[in-house]
């Protein structure tokens, strides 16, 4: 009743796309300046939002895209543009302002979506669910999705220890580095979307 090949394939795919080690500096940058309890809650909220989005698209993703007449490349480009806006804020230091650090729940956007539950993860899950043609494969797919989100939560939950070590100056440095990484991810996502549009034309 369990297909380890399907589980391993989807888990590794999601691990590469969602990138738990890579999300750590971005999470630290976006949640800096908040109490530890709030940061832990935001890590949990981000994972719950990501899982909710992934689950919805896993169950009826293709129908949603077809109903809205939205193509996968369009989804990728839109997600890339949103990430680019966040990256520019990180690079210019706007996230250091009180309004940004206190009022905005970054656990929902951009952490939950589109950073964790981005177009790449959504498409991978839609394809995996479509290919799972029996009960054991379906169980394996959903176990892989759940396991990946557990890994994400553990990564963000225990990355908070880093903040205590690097102090305020280190947080600023991490914020700038995260902005650079995020801008590169965003541009690559836009490029991939444009290339798919060109190939499909």
Question: What's the full length of the chain, in residues?
Answer: 201
pLDDT at 103: 54
- Specify the pLDDT at position 73: 87
Residue 96 pLDDT greater than 60, yes or no: no
Work out the burial of residue 115: count CB atoms within 10 Å of its CB; fewer than 13 is exposed, 13-18 middle, 19 or more buried: buried
- Between these two residues, 116 and 95, which has the higher pLDDT value? 116
The pLDDT score that the predictor gives to residue 99 is 40
Q: Please give the pLDDT value at position 84.
A: 87
**Cα 51 vs. chain centroid, distance in angstroms?**
10
Got the DSSP string for the chain? ---HHHHHHHHHHHHHHH-HHHHHHHHHHHHTTS-HHHHHHHHHHHHHHHHHHHHHHHHHHHHHHHHHT--HHHHHHHHHHHHHHHHHHHHHTGGGSHHHHHT--TIIIIIIIIIIS-HHHHHHHHHHHHH--SHHHHHHHHHHHHHHHHHHHHHHHHHHHHHHHHHHHHHHHHHHHHHHHHHHHHHHHHHHHHHHHHHH-
> Angle 28-33-37 (CA atoms, 0-180°, nearest 5)?
80
Mean pLDDT of the 30-36 span: 84
Q: For 144-170, what is the mean pLDDT? A: 86
Q: Averaged over 5-24, what is the pLDDT?
A: 88
Write down the pLDDT at residue 98. 37
Q: For the ranges 87-96, 169-178, 184-193, which has the lowest average pLDDT? A: 87-96
Per-residue pLDDT band for 56 (boundaries 50, 70, 90) equals very high
- Average model confidence (pLDDT) for the chain? 85
Global pTM value: 0.76
Q: With the CA atoms of 35, 38, 40 and 44 taken in that order, what torsion angle do they form, in degrees rounded to the nearest 10?
A: -170
Residue 31 — pLDDT band, cuts 50, 70, 90? confident
Question: Mean per-residue pLDDT for 107-126?
Answer: 88
The residue written with tokens 């940061």 in the block is 39
The pLDDT-based confidence of 125 (bands split at 50, 70, 90) is very high
């Amino acid at each position: 009743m369990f297909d380890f090949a399907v589980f391993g394939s989807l888990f590794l795919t999601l691990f590469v796309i969602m990138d738990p080690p890579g999300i750590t500096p971005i999470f630290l940058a976006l949640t800096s300046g908040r109490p530890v309890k709030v940061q832990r809650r935001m890590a949990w909220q981000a994972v719950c939002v990501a899982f909710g989005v992934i689950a919805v698209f896993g169950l009826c993703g293709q129908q949603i895209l077809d109903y809205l007449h939205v193509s996968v490349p369009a989804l990728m480009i839109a997600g890339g543009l949103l990430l680019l806006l966040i990256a520019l804020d990180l690079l210019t230091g706007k996230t250091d302002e009180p309004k940004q650090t206190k009022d905005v729940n970054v656990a929902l956007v951009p952490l939950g979506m589109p950073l964790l539950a981005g177009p790449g993860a959504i498409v991978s899950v839609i394809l995996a669910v479509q290919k799972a043609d029996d009960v054991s494969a379906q169980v394996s797919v959903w176990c892989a999705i759940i396991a990946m989100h557990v890994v994400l939560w553990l990564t963000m939950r225990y990355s908070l220890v880093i903040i205590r070590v690097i102090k305020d100056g280190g947080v600023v440095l991490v914020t700038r580095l995260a902005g650079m990484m995020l801008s590169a991810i965003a541009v690559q996502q836009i490029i991939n979307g444009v290339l798919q549009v060109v190939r499909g034309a």
